[in-house]
Amino acid sequence: MTTAELMSIVQQLASGMSASLLIFVLTLLFSMPLGLIVAFGRMSKWGIGKFKPLQLLAKIYISVLRGTPLMLQLLVVYFGPYYVFGISMPRTYRFVAVVLGFSINYAAYFAEIYRSGIESIPVGQYEAASVLGYSKSQTFFKIVFPQMIKRIIPPVTNETITLVKDTAMAFVLNYTEMFTLAKQIAAAQTTIVPLFVAGLFYFIFNGIVAIVMEKVEKRLDYYR
């Protein structure tokens, strides 16, 4: 394959690359704060009292989202409004369903990561904060949260890297992201080169994610 042909493939994949990046960014934007909310519900005692129904609901949410395939969840989010409520969604809902499906899925994983980070903080720190007159919210955001962030960076990095690769699952809803486009080009040109180009993109982007997260972790070394 000539350089010109290779560059042509890269140019054709450009739109798919931007679509994959958009799914990645929006999923992180929505799933990370949602995961923290779910983690609060899962622990129940954080700022909302020991409310068992909420704790049970959070447990069911996490169990279902982690225990079923992402592909199935995307289909439920996309076809759910029609089969449950009889509402026909516009074609533009396809992208919304992709982002929504990814976000609620990854929120379940982030919730458990957050919970493990919060529960790793020694009880003595909560007691000391109470003695100093800190409220529960002040204790969390000024003492617990900064330490939690430091401790959860490695598992969050793993989930983020997985998300980069999982963006290819958008094909389930016939949304054309990079890997789907690569398969289409490969089929049209009867060559597997587009698939290798797409794989190289995932590898490079995941390398960038790993480097950025490693730098963040080093910046937080003062929480040792």
b/e for 173-190, b at 16 or more Cβ within 10 A? bebbbbbbbbbebbeeee
Sign of CA dihedral 179, 184, 189, 191: positive
Confidence grade of residue 46 (pLDDT, cut at 50, 70, 90): very low
Question: Residue 45: its pLDDT value, please?
Answer: 60
Question: Residue 163: its pLDDT value, please?
Answer: 94
- Of 139 and 158, the structure prediction assigns the larger pLDDT to 158
Model confidence at 48: pLDDT above 50: no
Of 19-28, 42-51, 192-201, which gets the smallest average pLDDT?
42-51
Superfamily holding 3-223: MetI-like (1.10.3720.10)
Question: Residue 72: its pLDDT value, please?
Answer: 94
CA pair distance 48, 34, nearest whole angstrom: 16
Question: Residue 95: its pLDDT value, please?
Answer: 92
- Of 93 and 127, the structure prediction assigns the larger pLDDT to 93
Radius of gyration of the chain (CA): 21
Cβ contacts of 211 within 8 Å, gap of 6 or more: none
Cβ contacts of 36 within 8 Å, gap of 6 or more: 110, 111, 114
Question: Residue 76: its pLDDT value, please?
Answer: 94
Tens digits of residue pLDDT in 101-125 = 999 999 999 999 999 998 888 888 8
Model confidence at 57: pLDDT above 80: yes
Tokens standing for residue 205 = 């982007």
Model confidence at 23: pLDDT above 80: yes
Model confidence at 223: pLDDT above 60: no
CB atoms within 10 A of CB 17: 18
Question: Residue 51: its pLDDT value, please?
Answer: 60
What would the mean pLDDT of 90-99 be, rounded to a whole number? 90
